[in-house]
Amino acid sequence: MDKLSPLALSTLAQPNTTRAAQQANAPHKTVEAPKGDQGLSGDCLAESHQEPALGILTRLALAKQAPQAEAPEQPQPQQEQEGIPLETLRPVAREAMTSRGLSTDFSPEALAEVKALGGPARLDGPLVVDMRNLQWVSIDNESTRDIDQLACCEDLGDGRKRLLVAIADVAESVKKGTALDVETQKNTVTVYNPGNIMAMLPEELSTDWTSLGPNVDRRAIVTELIIGADGEVERSDTFEATVRNHCKTDYKAVSGWLDGSREMPGNIANQEGMAEQVKLQIEAGEQLGAAARRRGALEFQADRVITVEKDGRIVDLEAEKKNRASEAVANMMIATNTETARFLHRHNFPVFQRVVKEPERWDRIREVAMQAASELPAGHEMPSEMAILPEKPEAAALSKFLGEMKERDPEHYGEVSFSMLKLMGGGDYLVTPPGEPLQGHFGQGVTGGESGYVHSTAPNRRLPDIIIQRMVKAARRGEPCPYTLDELNALADRCNQMESAAKGAERQVQKAAVASYLQTQVGEEFVALVTGNNKKGVFVKVIDPPIEGKLVEGIEGSDVGDRLRVSLRAVDPQKGHIDFARLEELPKPAPGHGPMLMTG
């Protein structure tokens, strides 16, 4: 088994010479959305980077202003939106959760157990490696307090790197069979609603004692990955450690610094060698991502609307898009999940897997690909061997098509990739018994056999990750698996059920917030994409701003990927309903009159 070499420890260890002063809180904040690899956008690779410009409310207001024949001498100042009090959404959130069987309170027994813990887990233990002196960095959302992940990287030369990923050791504080363990099994995930985030664990744990916050010592599960120049993981190992977060920063700050639009963050600039460390981590994430795409990992662009809050009110909505830093971190976490599955498998343990099967609507995916390729601008035509996908599902071919589409028509890539994302189908948890071949993950290009996929990098907000930690710790210590197969199968069913309930509640509350803002927009026309067609109805997503709703008129003949002109018919903030009517299907180029596929 590969060990972390003494040379690696001495090379990575750097004195933490200075600390940056804590920055003042920003006046605006966005409600924190599910992070890491939670949900289907994590089951498939990350969105592309485009920072939000104007908020959705601002753009809607500007769109309603008719163009003037002559420009006014002085631009009129925009009136500040009054916004929606967050307390008006809290009853909606509670009803959305309780109606789906989700808990909205912690049990007295769980709270008493937290009080008895009294603080973070002790730092020493069997086989625990002291790694606090390494240059650990967290790159996350700006407002994040429940920090699950740190990373540290070493340049091995010739394009190779040693990447260490530390994940908060929640399992050390939340023991199997305790009241807190029972609590995690209620919702199995943190439920993110505007103004009402229902954490899976009490905040004393998730935002402090089991969080890898800045300048505190904490227990962690560390995965070591040796990355080749081609981005493939040459070997890996997993072990218990103590760590210290020397630099807490965020996606936008790092991405802005790297692309030159922002100054270097102060807590990076003020620490010797930290700038090089952060750049090395981003490079490692990008190498891993490039290798994953070559294997067939899928990169989708799926902008979603998030709320902007100020002084207890929702003052705007904006489209959340990923950037260079968030994509690199996602790639590092995805690699960690894959190597954790491999670790358990080679230790002859059952594997609590996250699986995305081959898409059932592959034929429709092929149709969307062909149509998109036929509409490419002149001079950007796609060779037919790329545009015509195989008859049977093949992740590598789809990944190559998406990459080509993004390069040849970035303006419309988001529409095409989002249509395909909706046709993919969701992920599920299932258990692979010891010694049996692992299941694959179509979205990540993981083919199964010796290679599988788990969720392991968000234990403060997701039960499957704690289950994985308990098994990893037992395997590392030479102990038997802490679960029977019957227990694991029951937990997989529970996690699937409650994840679905949580997503439903989040959608309802998010739509309630959006519907409140759209009340003045009823009757407006938009260009939209059909994103769903099932027994519940036909669903569409407005292209700009990216608002989703149900098609209630003109549903006949509509299918995923169709581009429509729609009218906003009605909204119901209490129920979270946003209803559209189809006005027309937007025309497609007639055969022989639009750009054609290249046959050579």
Domain boundaries, the chain: 6-15+28-59+82-356+427-508, 362-425+522-585
Instruction: Look at residue 589 in the predicted model and tell me its pLDDT.
Output: 41
Residue 248's closest CA among 150, 378, 164? 150
- Summarize the confidence of residues 280-306 as an average pLDDT: 91
Residue scoring higher pLDDT (353 or 510): 353
Instruction: Tally DSSP H helices, then E strands, for the chain.
Output: 17, 17
Q: Please say whether the beta carbons of 452 and 439 come within 8 A.
A: yes
Pairing of strands 548-553, 577-585: parallel
pTM score, whole prediction? 0.85
Residue scoring higher pLDDT (84 or 145): 145
pLDDT tens sequence across 549-600:
999 999 888 888 888 999 999 999 888 899 999 999 886 543 333 333 433 3
Helix spans in 347-431 (H): 362-374, 384-387, 395-408, 410-424
pLDDT(127) > 80: yes
R_g over Cα of the chain? 24
pLDDT tens sequence across 10-35:
334 443 333 333 333 334 444 455 55
Query: What proportion of the chain, given as a percentage, has pLDDT over 70?
Result: 84
Q: How far apart are CA 106 and CA 224, in angstroms?
A: 36
pLDDT bucket at 55, cuts 50 / 70 / 90:
low
- Summarize the confidence of residues 509-536 as an average pLDDT: 89
Strand, coil or helix: 543: coil
Strand, coil or helix: 407: helix
Comparing 409-423, 475-489, 570-584, which segment has the lowest mean pLDDT? 409-423
Residue scoring higher pLDDT (336 or 519): 336
* DSSP secondary structure letter of residue 205: I
pLDDT tens sequence across 128-177:
999 999 999 999 999 899 999 999 999 999 999 999 999 999 999 999 99
Residues 6+ apart with CB under 8 A from 492: 352, 428, 429, 430, 431
- Summarize the confidence of residues 480-496 as an average pLDDT: 98
Instruction: Look at residue 86 in the predicted model and tell me its pLDDT.
Output: 86
Q: How far is CA 496 from CA 187, 411, 469, 500, in A?
A: 10, 36, 19, 6
| Both structure tokens of 248 | 């807490």
pLDDT bucket at 93, cuts 50 / 70 / 90:
very high
Per DSSP (E only), the strands in 385-536 are 428-432, 525-534
CATH topology for the 362-425+522-585 domain: OB fold (Dihydrolipoamide Acetyltransferase, E2P) (2.40.50)
